[in-house]
Amino acid sequence: MRMYDLILKKRDGGILTKEEIDFIISGYTKDYIPDYQISALLMAIYFRGMTPEETSHLTMAMAYSGDVLDLSRIKGIKVDKHSTGGVADTTTLVLAPMVAACGAPVAKMSGRGLGHTGGTIDKLESIPGMRVELSEEEFIDNVNKYGIAIIGQTKNLTPADKKLYALRDVTATVDSIPLIASSIMSKKIAAGADGIVLDVKVGRGAFMKDLESAKKLAKLMVDIGNSVGRKTVAHVTNMDYPLGLAIGNALEVLEAIQVLKGHGSKDLLEVCMLLGSDMLQIAGIAKDDNEARAKLKDALESGKALQKFKEFIRAQGGDDRVVDDPTLLPQAKYVRPWIADRDVYIKDLMALDLGLLAMKLGAGRERKEDKIDLAVGIMLGGKVGEVIKKGEPIATIYANDESKADWAFEEIKKYILLSDEPVERPVLIYE
- Return the CATH number at 361: 3.90.1170.30
Q: Give pLDDT tens digits for 321-352.
A: 999 999 999 999 999 999 999 999 999 999 99
Q: Phi and psi at residue 203, in whole multiples of 5°? A: 130, -170
Domain count, the chain: 3
Look at residue 115 in the predicted model and tell me its pLDDT: 65
**Domain final residue pick, 323, 339, 362:** 323
Q: Distance between CA 349 and CA 49 in Å, rounded?
A: 34
Question: In angstroms, what CA-CA distances link 406 with 133, 168, 361, 397?
Answer: 37, 36, 11, 9
Q: Is residue 346 domain-resident?
A: yes
What is the layout of strands, in order, in the sheet containing 344-349? Answer: 387-388, 344-349, 416-419
The alpha carbon torsion through 282, 313, 249, 102 (nearest 10 deg) reads: 20
Q: Is residue 149 domain-resident?
A: yes
CA–chain centroid gap for 240, Å, is 16
Q: Give pLDDT tens digits for 93-113.
A: 999 999 999 999 999 988 877
Report the CATH number that the domain containing residue 9 is assigned in CATH: 1.20.970.10
Q: Give pLDDT tens digits for 50-92.
A: 999 999 999 999 999 999 999 999 999 999 999 988 899 999 9
Catalytic entry in 183, 186, 265, 277: 183
Examine the domain organization and report whether 24 and 118 are in the same domain.
no
Q: Indicate the pLDDT class of residue 264, thresholds 50, 70 and 90.
A: confident
% of the chain surpassing 90 pLDDT:
88
Catalytic entry in 78, 187, 230, 336: 187
Q: Is 2 assigned a catalytic role?
A: no
Catalytic entry in 57, 78, 108, 168: 168
- Whether residue 171 has pLDDT greater than 80: yes
Q: Give CA angle at 128 (126, 133), nearest 5°.
A: 75
Average pLDDT, integer, range 166-194 = 91
Catalytic entry in 89, 161, 240, 267: 161
CB burial class (10 A; 0-12, 13-18, 19+) of residue 280?
buried
Examine the domain organization and report whether 242 and 267 are in the same domain.
yes
HEC-encoded secondary structure of the chain:
CCHHHHHHHHHCCCCCCHHHHHHHHHHHHCCCCCHHHHHHHHHHHHHHCCCHHHHHHHHHHHHCCCECCCCCCCCCCCEEEEECCCCCCCHHHHHHHHHHHCCCCEEEEECCCECCECCHHHHHHCCCCCCCCCCHHHHHHHHHHHCEEEEECCCCECHHHHHHHHHHHHCCCCCCHHHHHHHHHHHHHHCCCCEEEEEEEECCCCCECCHHHHHHHHHHHHHHHHHCCCEEEEEEEECCCCCCCEECHHHHHHHHHHHHCCCCCHHHHHHHHHHHHHHHHHCCCCCCHHHHHHHHHHHHHCCHHHHHHHHHHHHCCCCHHHHCCHHHCCCCCEEEEEECCCCEEEEEECHHHHHHHHHHHHHCCCCCCCCCCCCCEEEECCCCCCEECCCCEEEEEEECCHHHHHHHHHHHHHCEEEECCCCCCCCCECC
Examine the domain organization and report whether 351 and 291 are in the same domain.
no
Report the CATH number that the domain containing residue 223 is assigned in CATH: 3.40.1030.10
Examine the domain organization and report whether 150 and 265 are in the same domain.
yes
- Whether residue 365 has pLDDT greater than 90: no
Look at residue 318 in the predicted model and tell me its pLDDT: 97
Examine the domain organization and report whether 219 and 354 are in the same domain.
no
Return the sign of the alpha-carbon dihedral for residues 363, 367, 369, 370.
negative
Q: Is residue 57 domain-resident?
A: no
Q: Give pLDDT tens digits for 376-416.
A: 999 999 999 999 999 999 999 999 999 999 999 999 999 99
Q: Indicate the pLDDT class of residue 119, thresholds 50, 70 and 90.
A: confident
Q: Is residue 424 domain-resident?
A: no
Average pLDDT, integer, range 261-287 = 96
- Whether residue 373 has pLDDT greater than 80: yes
Q: Is 168 assigned a catalytic role?
A: yes
Q: Distance between CA 94 and CA 106 in Å, rounded?
A: 12
Q: Indicate the pLDDT class of residue 114, thresholds 50, 70 and 90.
A: low
Name the nearest CA neighbour of 106 among 324, 321, 315, 329.
Answer: 315
Q: Is 342 assigned a catalytic role?
A: no
Examine the domain organization and report whether 149 and 19 are in the same domain.
no
Average pLDDT, integer, range 168-189 = 91
Examine the domain organization and report whether 229 and 141 are in the same domain.
yes
Q: Is residue 426 domain-resident?
A: no
Q: Is 419 assigned a catalytic role?
A: no
Q: Is 116 assigned a catalytic role?
A: no
Q: Is residue 427 domain-resident?
A: no
Examine the domain organization and report whether 373 and 285 are in the same domain.
no
Catalytic entry in 78, 82, 204, 308: 82
- Whether residue 367 has pLDDT greater than 90: no
Q: Give pLDDT tens digits for 4-61.
A: 999 999 999 999 999 999 999 999 999 999 999 999 999 999 999 999 999 999 999 9
Q: Give pLDDT tens digits for 232-246.
A: 999 999 999 999 999
CB burial class (10 A; 0-12, 13-18, 19+) of residue 141?
middle
% of the chain surpassing 70 pLDDT:
99
Q: Distance between CA 17 and CA 97 in Å, rounded?
A: 42
Please say whether the beta carbons of 311 and 146 come within 8 A: yes
pTM (whole model) above 0.75? yes
Average pLDDT, integer, range 207-222 = 95
Examine the domain organization and report whether 92 and 230 are in the same domain.
yes
**Domain final residue pick, 323, 343, 377:** 323
Count other C-beta atoms under 10 Å from residue 30's C-beta.
11
Range of the domain at 108: 79-323
**Domain final residue pick, 272, 303, 323:** 323
Look at residue 408 in the predicted model and tell me its pLDDT: 98
Examine the domain organization and report whether 344 and 202 are in the same domain.
no
Q: Is residue 213 domain-resident?
A: yes
Look at residue 154 in the predicted model and tell me its pLDDT: 76
Please say whether the beta carbons of 274 and 99 come within 8 A: no
Examine the domain organization and report whether 13 and 118 are in the same domain.
no
CB burial class (10 A; 0-12, 13-18, 19+) of residue 342?
exposed
- Whether residue 285 has pLDDT greater than 80: yes
- How confident is the prediction for the chain on average, in pLDDT? 94
Q: Is residue 61 domain-resident?
A: no
Examine the domain organization and report whether 12 and 101 are in the same domain.
no
